[in-house]
Amino acid sequence: MGRLGTTRILVGMGTCGIAAGAEEVFEVLQREVSERGLQAELVSVGCMGLCYAEPLVEIEKPGGPSILYGGLTSETAAELVRDYLVGDDPRPDLALGSRGDGAVAGIPRLDELPVLRDQVRIALRDCGNLDPTDIDQYLARGGYAALRKALFEMTPQGVIDEVAKSGLRGRGGAGFPTARKWQFCRDAPGMVKYMVCNADEGDPGAFMDRSLLEGSPHGVLEGLAIAGYAVGASTGYVYVRAEYPLAVKRLRTAVAQAEERGFLGSGIFGSSFDFRVQVMEGAGAFVCGEETALLASIEGKRGMPRPRPPFPAQSGLGGKPTIINNVKTLSSVPPIILRGGEWYAGIGTQKSPGTTVFALTGKIKNSGLVEIPLGTALSTIVFDIGGGIPRGRRLKAVQTGGPSGGCIPARLIDTPAEYESLSALGSIMGSGGMVVMDETSCMVDVARYFLSFTQSESCGKCSTCRLGTRQMLRILTRITEGEGREEDLDELLTIARLVKECSLCGLGQTAPNPVLSTLNYFRDEYEAHIKEKHCPAAVCDALMISPCQHTCPVGINVPQYVAQIAVGDYEGALATIRERNPFPSICGRICHHPCETRCRRGELDSPVAIRLLKRFAADWCYEHGVGEPVPFPRTKKERVAVVGAGPTGLTCAYFLAWQGYGVTVFEALPVAGGMLAVAVPEFRLPAAVIQREVEYIAG
């Protein structure tokens, strides 16, 4: 791995790390180490999954634990060299945690952090721990030992039997038992068979396959070779998205290194087993993730699904038996061969053994890759590993399975993450995408967004998918634009069920899931859009003016009065507030200010202090005698009696008087103000403030 007695500095150089500035950090570390003449080895590693904390740097000093640092900049990287490598200050203020022998004061152990405590790293075992372009580092961690064991200690059928014991299921979406699929191919007649690794990751927000190929390409190649030996294939393909240039580059490097060392090619390890791997760059279409469309693309045809049966295991590439496995599935094979199927089956649940990798994204604090035992509760993933929802907002839903998955409401957050449980709720495991949504997410717009993706990516072969997704998208767009009709919901359900039941491939069959699940769990939001022309989440532009005004219970024009305060027009601001609320001073003190939770400024740092601005404008005007009450002109001959001088009664009287009615308010208590006057403590709401608001309304 490195020279004995030499400090190792590991820098996360996956796509996420590079995007966060890891290249600059690497250059600074390299320059500082060189200029100071330090004995240290810099190593570029892949992403270890803590994408929220990039750029990541791990320092391993001889004889002590390694320390992981997160969120480094060029400046803090230089400080780290000076303070920790030259001096002996481990800089706990920059550290995330430590691992290995020994402890460091002020720095927790990595395996005790909530983000890592519940994870079990099998597929991701090497990511972030080695240089993916250095095969020797992979070998030093036991690389290709599983392939050697399979070739010299196991028969091909023995490999399949061991994988069957593990209970490994395909991690690409459907969850079909891996060993059963391999057995179909092995038993199929013919001498020519193929293995294909499906790395065509097209889900928005998913990056599991990319990170695995960038961080541990040899792990995937070893699993692919073992699978080839088991089914009798001598040729393998890795079908990877062309949009992943770094993954493609590192994968090609790994193939060349493995061929040079004799781990791929002819006579592997001196045996009679031949296995060659070709890297194929994908056409960029989402539908090419479907296995029969993927095979068509490899053959140089347009990527379109074909009817099954026959299944690829009987008739696939060029009409020959072909196995298509996901990157995560193949990466899990070497540990199973080395440690045994029973070991793997002991992780997870009985029906869903082992681990799975999720790309955790959306409204979550700790975004990144997580590998958890199947059966782990969604609540553990979101609140423990993910760190919960930022800015103190509430969880609303979790969407699993990519654009074809379903939305699971917050009340079902304790559901275990496994195939059967998610399917029962109208969602799918999919390839591992998990999008977290908070109260600022509009579920109608979410369904529209995902359907717009699947509709645009439909290959168009079957009319139910081609036309059905278009019709559903048209209806959803109409609803989000405030033009929905009540009959739209029944029409949506009818079309969604038709598309689900009649589409040719799995992508078309699952495309309606976002619509069906949101209609099932969030029908009230659809009805609000249609009946009230109101978007509860303040997302749909056609149904709101601004998020803060939209969220305000009485609909005050917040942007206007904030702008008036900004230019010193406090009287104008007070008049704007009173257009919707006659209690500006009271609400400036006790309102729970939901408007601030939707303030756009809060997405950058802190929201505008809307409630305090309201209080300031009201108090300033009262103190300076500005905005004295002027009686509303009486234009209506009718008189109205209002019973009760509480907030509701006084508000009613105020706006009736504004419209020209004569109003008389009756109250049994000796004071006006209702519960504001008799229930709210003086320190929270002074009686003098209530009195002046009541006097203004009475005037």
Note whether 558 and 574 are same-domain residues. yes
Q: Are residues 572 and 506 in the same domain?
A: no
pLDDT, one tens digit per residue, over 106-158 is: 999 999 999 999 999 999 999 999 999 999 999 999 999 999 999 999 999 99
Query: Is the same domain home to 188 and 283?
Result: yes
pLDDT at residue 163 in the model:
98
For residues 436 and 448, state if they share a domain.
Answer: no
- Same-domain check for residues 437 and 474: no
At position 170, the amino acid (one-letter code) is G
Q: Domain for residue 2, yes or no?
A: no
Strand partners, 67: 59, 98
Lowest-confidence range among 100-109, 134-143, 576-585, 595-604? 595-604
Q: How many domains does the chain have?
A: 6
Same domain, 613 and 671: no
- Residue 633, domain member (yes or no): no
Q: How confident is the model at residue 563 (pLDDT cuts 50, 70, 90)?
A: very high
- Rounded to whole angstroms, the Cα distance separating 546 from 30 reads 49
Give the number of other CB atoms < 10 A from CB of residue 460: 10
Strand pairing class (66-69; 57-60):
antiparallel
DSSP string computed for 600-652: GGGGTS----HHHHHHHHHHHHHHTT-S---PPP---S-EEEEE--SHHHHHH
* Predicted pLDDT of residue 1: 46
> What pLDDT, in 10s, does the model give residues 474-497?
999 999 999 999 999 999 999 999
- Final residue before a domain boundary, out of 531, 565, 587: 531
pLDDT band at 574 (very low <50, low <70, confident <90, very high): very high
Digit-coded pLDDT (tens) for 429-453: 888 889 999 999 999 999 999 999 9
Task: Tell me if residue 104 falls in helix, strand or coil.
Answer: strand
Q: State which of 497, 531, 565 marks the end of a domain.
A: 531
Q: In this structure, what CATH number is given to the domain that contains residue 376?
A: 3.10.20.600
pLDDT at 605: 85
Q: Are residues 177 and 305 in the same domain?
A: yes
475, 507, 531: which is the final residue of a domain? Answer: 531
Distances from the Cα of 388 to the Cαs of 110, 394, 558, 594, 698, in angstroms? 19, 9, 29, 20, 48
Residue 5: the pLDDT is: 66
Mean pLDDT of the chain: 93
Q: How confident is the model at residue 367 (pLDDT cuts 50, 70, 90)?
A: very high
User: What is the structure's pLDDT at 86?
Assistant: 94
* pLDDT tops 60 at residue 85: yes
Q: Measured between alpha carbons, how far is 642 from 631 in angstroms, rounded to an integer?
A: 18
Residue 305 within any structural domain of the chain = yes
- Structure confidence by residue, pLDDT tens digits, 178-207: 999 999 999 999 999 999 999 988 777 788
Contact 14, 46 (CB under 8 A): yes
4 pLDDT band (50/70/90 cuts)? low
Report how far residue 53's alpha carbon sits from residue 25's, in angstroms, rounded to the nearest whole number: 14
Better-predicted residue by pLDDT, 453 or 604: 453
Q: Which two tokens stand for residue 429?
A: 């495991």
Q: What angle do CA 448, 240, 313 make, to 5 degrees?
A: 95
Domain ranges, residue 84: 7-112
Question: What pLDDT band is residue 458 in, cutting at 50, 70 and 90?
Answer: confident
What confidence tens digit (pLDDT) does each residue in 287-330 have?
Answer: 888 889 999 999 999 888 888 889 999 999 999 999 999 999 99
Q: What percent of the chain has pLDDT over 70?
A: 99
> At residue 274, does pLDDT exceed 70?
yes
- Are the beta carbons of 120 and 49 closer than 8 angstroms? no
Give the containing element (helix H, strand E) for 76: helix 74-80
| Residue 126 placed within a domain | no
pLDDT, mean of residues 345-363:
95
Q: Taking 80 as the threshold, does the pLDDT of residue 627 lie above it?
A: no
Q: Rounded CA gap, 165 and 72, in Å? A: 44
**689 occurs within a structural domain:** yes
From 155-169, 202-216, 238-252, the region with the lowest mean pLDDT: 202-216
Q: Are residues 160 and 108 in the same domain?
A: no
405, 359 Cβ separation under 8 angstroms? no
Instruction: Answer yes or no: do 493 and 427 share one domain.
Output: no
pLDDT over 50 (residue 166): yes
